[in-house]
Homo-oligomer: A and B are copies of this chain.
């Protein structure tokens, strides 16, 4: 008895609304009643279709990650086949990995920016369930890209590359998850970091144009000199810093 994905209308509607609500308020702060009322389905429908709230979250992600995993592997396959045994360029590997992800942001049928933000935010969620879920979902793809990066950047030690892959994932996820948040923090408008499409470029594309050079620069950066670790000889710290304009009351 194979899983007959019936794709009933209500099932998809629930997934769509859940995706948006989980993104907007987070998993814990989103109640099933919020979801079912906005999706205009009965409360019991969620448990019928997904078994539980966790099951719903799981399927919200699976719906998108299946495509993403397949596409990422295919992109790497295509590049390696075309390279004919030669190592890929670092930029190619990053394009395959991050460019594929960002294509989701340009295509509503793949989840759009809603899903990208949800993904970025959920990756740091501390819950055991979510953590192990992502570990399983990502394992195969990450492993292949790691190997590709080892070959693409042979002059950087492997351990260092793994760290940097880690950093790159962070910069990316955070940049996506935090657009609305960090635009406040950084204070600038950056030519409107949020939703609109101006000069014909989608938000995802504008982000990518900025992010890719940054990631490439970080990936290929000069190795750390173990002699000067941080916070030596550089900042003559007053042990008790004097007051600055900050120290506001309350």
Please give the number of chain A residues whose Cβ is less than 8 angstroms from any Cβ of chain B in the complex.
Answer: 107
Could you list some 8 contacts between A and B, CB below 8 A? A70-B243, A73-B244, A79-B234, A102-B231, A124-B178, A167-B175, A208-B230, A218-B218
CB distance from A232 to the nearest CB of B (A): 9
- Find A230's partner among B71, B102, B174, B218 (CB 8 Å cutoff): B102
Q: Given that A78-B235, A235-B96, A235-B99 are contacting pairs, would A186 and B162 also be in contact in the complex, using a CB cutoff of 8 Å?
A: yes
CB distance from A145 to the nearest CB of B (A): 10
CB distance from A155 to the nearest CB of B (A): 13
**Are B127 and A124 closer than 8 Å at their CB atoms?**
no
Copy number in the complex reads: 2
**Are A205 and B190 closer than 8 Å at their CB atoms?**
no
| Complex contacts, A99 vs chain B, CB 8 Å | 230-231, 234-235
Give the distance in Å from the alpha carbon of A238 to the alpha carbon of B73 in the complex. 12
Q: Given that A26-B126, A123-B178 are contacting pairs, would A74 and B238 also be in contact in the complex, using a CB cutoff of 8 Å?
A: yes
**Are A234 and B124 closer than 8 Å at their CB atoms?**
no
Say yes or no: is A171 at the interface (Cβ < 8 Å to chain B). Answer: yes
Spot the interface stretch: A36-44, A47-55, A220-228. Answer: A220-228
CB distance from A220 to the nearest CB of B (A): 7
CB distance from A70 to the nearest CB of B (A): 5
| Complex contacts, A79 vs chain B, CB 8 Å | 234-235
Give the distance in Å from the alpha carbon of A234 to the alpha carbon of B103 in the complex. 14
- Find A70's partner among B170, B187, B246 (CB 8 Å cutoff): B246
CB distance from A19 to the nearest CB of B (A): 13
**Are A237 and B28 closer than 8 Å at their CB atoms?**
no
Those of A153-180 within 8 Å (CB) of chain B: 159-160, 162-175, 177-178, 180
